[in-house]
Amino acid sequence: MNDKGLSSGQRPKAKGGRSTPALCNIIGTGILLAVIAASLAITAPRLMGYEIYEIVSGSMEPEIPVGSAIYVEQSAPEDIQAGDIIAFESGDSVIAHRVVENQVVEGHFTTKGDANAEEDMQAVEYADLIGRVARHYPMLGELMRVYSSKVGKAYVIAFAACGAMFNVLAGRLRARRKVSG
């Protein structure tokens, strides 16, 4: 017997038991799933033919809040109806406003932001149409902005690496338990 009351063939059991590796697996898998889900929300729609843009002004509030992401599908200008929300180019910007009137003969739209008192001063030419807003998701635009920055990409990689490390740690704790137990 040694001074801890154990015979020479006995070893103390590893601390943490089965719950610590399981908890590490849950945390690691949760982190990896969060990274994958956030990435899919931004990349999968592009694979399905949507263009994605962030809303940076309040002209479409409350329907589409600032910081939302809009998914825009290509549409023929003649198929756009009054009440549809469209995305169009205006100079270097992309704007999303509601169609008040589609003037097919003239080849342009009359548009208005929901939060604006007046219709837009300039008609939107068919050539400037990107498409119809199919969906919009609050706060996803802010996530897109973070993900598209260099610092955001570094955070995503670091976050995914932490998730992987938690899973590796769980495997090592299980291996240690087998050896010692």
pLDDT at 9 over 80: no
Which of 123, 126, 132 shows the shortest CA–CA distance to 96?
A: 132
Angle at 37 between CA 68 and CA 162, to 5 degrees: 115
pLDDT of residue 98: 97
pLDDT tens per residue, range 60-114: 999 999 999 999 999 999 999 999 999 999 999 999 999 999 999 999 999 999 9
pLDDT of residue 123: 95
**The dihedral sign for the CA sequence 21, 24, 30, 34:** negative
Please, which residues bridge with residue 137 across strands?
A: 69
CA distances to 34, 41, 60, 66, 163 from 98, rounded to whole Å, are 34, 24, 8, 16, 43
pLDDT of residue 15: 53
pLDDT at 31 over 80: yes
What pTM, to 2 d.p., does this model score? 0.71
pLDDT of residue 144: 85
Q: Is 68 helix (H, G, I), strand (E, B) or coil?
A: coil
Which of 174, 176, 170, 167 shows the shortest CA–CA distance to 32?
A: 167
Single-letter amino acid code for the residue at 35: V
pLDDT tens per residue, range 103-144: 999 999 999 999 999 999 999 999 999 999 999 999 888 888
pLDDT at 17 over 80: no
- More confident: 50 or 9: 50
Q: What is the mean pLDDT of the chain?
A: 88
pLDDT at 5 over 70: no
Is the peptide bond between 62 and the residue preceding it cis, with omega within 30 degrees of 0?
A: yes
